[in-house]
Amino acid sequence: MTTSALAINGGSKALTNDPGDIFTWPIVTEEDESAVLEVLRRGGMSGTDVTKLFEEDFSAWMGTEFALGYPNGTESLRAAMWACGVGAGDEIICPSLTYWASATPALSLGAAVHFADAHPDSLCIDPADIEHRIGPRTKAIVVVHYAGHPGDMDAIMPIAKRHGVKVIEDVSHAQGSLYKGRMCGTIGDVGAMSLMAGKSLAIGEAGILVTDNREIYERCVAYGHYERTGARSQYNPPDQQVTDTSLQQFSGMPMGGYKHRMHQLSSAMGRVQLRHYPERIVEIQKAMNRFWDLLEDVPGITAHRPAAGSGSTMGGWYFARGLYRAEELGGLTNATFAEAVRAEGVGACGTGANAPLHTHNVFHYADLFGTGKPTMVSFTDRDVRQGPGTLPVSENSGQTIVGVPWFKHDRPEIIEQYAAAYRKVAEHADELKA
C-alpha cells in the first residue's frame, strides 16, 4: 500500500480545528434587532424617514454629495443607466464576467449591451478591451469592482472622457474597497450597488446609488422616487428634492413607471451595519491578507488582490476568489485541484465565478418589446451580439478562478490550517495526475 499525503487519497485532513463563527455573516446584534423592531412596531416600513437618515450616513461615509436608497441593487443600476441617458437604440459597455444585473437593465431600456472581456489578474473589465467597442450610440461604461477588487479607473476614466461616455460603477461586490485611496463608487459619474443579504454590506433586499452629479441624482429621483418630487403622499411628508422644472412636472408619479422606495426594515438595519462596517472590513482584510501571505510562494494559486502599498484594497472581500494557474501544476485541472482541497476539509472550495453573460440567450434572442426582433437589435442596425470564443478570459473562468474561504475574523490558528490545505494540495499535485 502506498501512503499519500492528500486526504483525497486516504491521507489525513489538513483541517482539524472547528472554524466556529469565522464565516458567520452578517454579524447581527441586539443593536440591529432593536433598530428593526422600532420601525416594525410603529408600522414605518413604507416610510422614508429612516431611509433618508441611512442615505445621509451612507453619503457621509462614501464622501459623495448624494445617496439614494433602492429596494435592490438591480433597480439602482436601472436608474443609474437611465439617468446617464441610456435609451432605445443606445449601447452600454459592460464586462461579461459579472452578475446579470450589471447588464440586463440596459435591455429593459431598449439598449444593447456590448460586452468586454475581464483582465485575468483583476477580474474586472480590461481597459484595453473598451475603446474599440465604443460606437456613436454608446452612452455608458459599467465598471464592476469584481469580487471586491477595484477596477482600473485611471485607465478607464480618460477613455470615457475622450468619447463623452458616462461611467457607472457597480459596487455590489466592493462596498468600502479603495482604488488608490479613493472609495470605489465615487470615481465614475455614478455608483450603484446591491446591499442584499449575501453581499459584504448585507442589510436585506436593498440597494443604494451615490453620485456628486445633481442632474443624475434628480433624474434618479424623478424616475422612481415619486414622493420626492414635491408630491404629497399618503405615507410621507411632501418633499422637494428635485429642482429641475422639466422633472418637477411629473411630481407624484415615477416617470419611469418604477417604484423605487426602499424597505425601512433594511434602512434601519443599514444604519446599524454601516456604523460597524469600516471596522469589520479592516478585520476581514487582516484575515484574508494573512491567508494569502501564507500562500505567497505556492505554485498554481495566486492571490486576487491589489499590490500591497498601492492604496487599493478589497473592501469586505466579497466572493473571495483565487487565481488558479494550471500550467504551474503540470496541467492539473482546477476541478481536480478544488476537489482535493475540499477533501482536506475546506467546505466551500468551488471553481469559476459568474458564467459569461455574452453567450446567454437573453442577450441573443429575448424580444422584450414585441418588435419581432431581439431587443439587442430592436432599435438599432448595429449588431453587437457576440458568440462563444470571443471573450476568452470570461469564458475560461471555470479553469482559472478557484474559491477560497471568506474569513470574517482574523484568527491565525484557523486561517493557518486553511492555508495549509491549499498548500498541501499544490505541493502534492503530482499525486493527482494519475
Residues that bind ligand PLP (CB under 6 A): 72-74, 98-99, 101-102, 144, 170, 172-173, 194, 196, 207
Measured distance CA(296)–CA(309) in Å, rounded: 16
Instruction: Compare residues 172 and 380 and give the one whose CB is closer to ligand PLP.
Output: 172
Residue appearing with cell numbers 435609451: 87
Measured distance CA(97)–CA(260) in Å, rounded: 27
Instruction: Compare residues 94 and 419 and give the one whose CB is closer to ligand PLP.
Output: 94
Could you tell me the smallest distance in angstroms from the CB atom of residue 171 to ligand PLP?
A: 8
Instruction: Compare residues 144 and 298 and give the one whose CB is closer to ligand PLP.
Output: 144
Instruction: Compare residues 35 and 353 and give the one whose CB is closer to ligand PLP.
Output: 353
Measured distance CA(274)–CA(270) in Å, rounded: 6
Could you tell me the smallest distance in angstroms from the CB atom of residue 387 to ligand PLP?
A: 23
Q: How many CB atoms lie within 10 A of CB 372?
A: 7
The DSSP code for 244 is -
Q: Which DSSP string corresponds to 386-398?
A: --TTS-HHHHTHH
Residue nearest to ligand PLP (CB): 73
Spatial contact of 144 and 192, defined as CB atoms under 8 Å apart: no
Measured distance CA(384)–CA(363) in Å, rounded: 10
Instruction: Compare residues 26 and 207 and give the one whose CB is closer to ligand PLP.
Output: 207
Beta-carbon contacts of residue 341 (< 8 Å; ≥ 6 apart): 349, 402, 421, 422, 425
Instruction: Compare residues 206 and 329 and give the one whose CB is closer to ligand PLP.
Output: 206
Q: What share of the chain is helix, strand, coil (3-state, %, to 5)?
A: 40, 15, 50
Could you tell me the smallest distance in angstroms from the CB atom of residue 176 to ligand PLP?
A: 15
Coil vs helix vs strand at 240: strand
Could you tell me the smallest distance in angstroms from the CB atom of residue 202 to ligand PLP?
A: 10
Could you tell me the smallest distance in angstroms from the CB atom of residue 252 to ligand PLP?
A: 26
Could you tell me the smallest distance in angstroms from the CB atom of residue 102 to ligand PLP?
A: 5
Measured distance CA(80)–CA(85) in Å, rounded: 9
Helix (H) / strand (E) containing 166? strand 166-170
Could you tell me the smallest distance in angstroms from the CB atom of residue 194 to ligand PLP?
A: 3
Could you tell me the smallest distance in angstroms from the CB atom of residue 332 to ligand PLP?
A: 29
Q: Which DSSP string corresponds to 221-238?
A: HHHH-GGGBS---SSS--
Could you tell me the smallest distance in angstroms from the CB atom of residue 195 to ligand PLP?
A: 7
Could you tell me the smallest distance in angstroms from the CB atom of residue 197 to ligand PLP?
A: 9
Phi, psi of 208 (to 5 degrees): -150, 150
Instruction: Compare residues 99 and 407 and give the one whose CB is closer to ligand PLP.
Output: 99
Q: Which DSSP string corresponds to 58-120?
A: HHHHHT-SEEEEESSHHHHHHHHHHHTT--TT-EEEEESSS-GGGTHHHHHTT-EEEEEPBPT
Instruction: Compare residues 94 and 247 and give the one whose CB is closer to ligand PLP.
Output: 94
Instruction: Compare residues 98 and 313 and give the one whose CB is closer to ligand PLP.
Output: 98
Instruction: Compare residues 225 and 423 and give the one whose CB is closer to ligand PLP.
Output: 225
Spatial contact of 85 and 92, defined as CB atoms under 8 Å apart: no
